[in-house]
């Protein structure tokens, strides 16, 4: 599944591009990367070798992470907690995980349609993590699984931005008693979005309607 609509998709840009800093490549990092490569070879895992080479500039390695990565290559045994093994997130899953205002149905971004995941994934990524959609790169997913602090921070920021957007709309409608059109204009002004097309505005107004419908009980 992807974020519900283009407006939610854009939220990531406010916090997403802050972390491309490679970890300092000091000797101990180099040594642990080397030992990972040696272990990967011993395990006869060419795909692991490839991934280690690919992610090494991004993740600082240590023995614990090396073991975690090796564990990831074991056959996944756990039923995907997001799609319940279907490989597809439908409206029932979206309701169950309370993501109606956040996700659109589609391929499961948690298990990549496999229906099963590794234990490590289940223990490190909550099934309802809003940030983990098909929009994320594989590297970002790896970082989340391995508990990378910066990736976790991006996920947290994304959720905060999303909550902020939904709360803003709700307050403007229920407390400020503004109409959909005005709320949309204020939103575009807030995010400095100029030259918004009629179609984009229509889509956002539709989203405001969904927020109002979902939040009605809370404000009555
Ligand atoms: Zn799944």
Residues 69/48, Cβ–Cβ less than 8 Å: yes
pLDDT band at 20 (very low <50, low <70, confident <90, very high): very low
The residue to which tokens 């098909």 are assigned:
134
Strand partners, 116: 79
| The pLDDT of residue 50 | 63
| The pLDDT of residue 153 | 94
Q: For residue 86, report the distance from its CA to the centre of ligand 1, in Å.
A: 6
What mean pLDDT is predicted for residues 147-162?
Answer: 93
pLDDT at 166 > cutoff 70: yes
Q: For residue 179, report the distance from its CA to the centre of ligand 1, in Å.
A: 38
What average pLDDT does the chain have? 80
The pTM of this model reads: 0.70
Q: Which helix (H) or strand (E) segment is 79 a member of?
A: strand 78-79
Residues 19/154, Cβ–Cβ less than 8 Å: yes
Q: For residue 46, report the distance from its CA to the centre of ligand 1, in Å.
A: 26
Q: For residue 130, report the distance from its CA to the centre of ligand 1, in Å.
A: 14
Give the lowest-confidence range in 2-16, 74-88, 136-150, 192-206: 2-16
Q: For residue 166, report the distance from its CA to the centre of ligand 1, in Å.
A: 26
pLDDT at 22 > cutoff 50: no
Q: For residue 107, report the distance from its CA to the centre of ligand 1, in Å.
A: 8
pLDDT at 41 > cutoff 60: no
Q: For residue 103, report the distance from its CA to the centre of ligand 1, in Å.
A: 14
Q: How many CB atoms lie within 10 A of CB 31?
A: 11
**SS3 of residue 3 by DSSP:** strand
pLDDT digits (tens, 9 = 90+) for 99-146: 999 999 999 999 999 999 998 899 999 999 999 999 999 889 988 988
**SS3 of residue 174 by DSSP:** helix
Q: For residue 160, report the distance from its CA to the centre of ligand 1, in Å.
A: 24
The domain limits of the chain are: 153-219
d(CA 24, CA 77): 35
- The CA distances from residue 39 to 48, 62, 63, 69, in Å, are 10, 13, 11, 11
Q: For residue 31, report the distance from its CA to the centre of ligand 1, in Å.
A: 36
Q: For residue 190, report the distance from its CA to the centre of ligand 1, in Å.
A: 35
Give the lowest-confidence range in 74-78, 79-83, 172-176, 198-202: 74-78
pLDDT at 34 > cutoff 60: no
Q: For residue 105, report the distance from its CA to the centre of ligand 1, in Å.
A: 12
Q: For residue 52, report the distance from its CA to the centre of ligand 1, in Å.
A: 25
């Amino acid at each position: 599944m992807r974020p519900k609509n283009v407006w939610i998709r854009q939220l990531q840009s406010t916090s997403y591009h802050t972390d491309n800093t490679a970890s300092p490549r000091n000797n101990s990092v180099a040594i642990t990367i080397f030992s990972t490569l040696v272990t990967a070879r011993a395990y006869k895992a060419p795909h692991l070798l490839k991934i280690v080479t690919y992610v090494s500039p991004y993740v600082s390695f240590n023995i614990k992470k090396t073991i975690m990565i090796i564990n990831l290559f074991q056959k996944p045994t756990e039923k995907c907690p997001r799609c319940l093994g279907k490989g597809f997130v439908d409206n029932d899953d979206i309701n169950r995980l309370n993501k109606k205002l956040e996700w659109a149905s589609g391929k499961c971004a948690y298990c990549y349609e496999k229906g099963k995941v590794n234990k490590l994934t289940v223990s490190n990524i909550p099934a309802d993590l809003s940030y983990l959609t098909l929009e994320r790169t594989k590297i970002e997913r790896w970082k989340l699984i391995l508990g990378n602090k910066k990736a976790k921070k991006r996920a947290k920021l994304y959720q905060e931005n999303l909550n902020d957007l939904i709360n803003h709309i709700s307050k403007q409608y229920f407390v400020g008693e503004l109409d959909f059109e005005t709320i949309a204009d204020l939103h575009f002004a807030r995010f400095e979005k100029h030259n918004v097309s009629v179609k984009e505005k229509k889509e956002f107004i539709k989203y405001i309607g969904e927020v109002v419908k979902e939040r009605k009980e809370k404000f009555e």
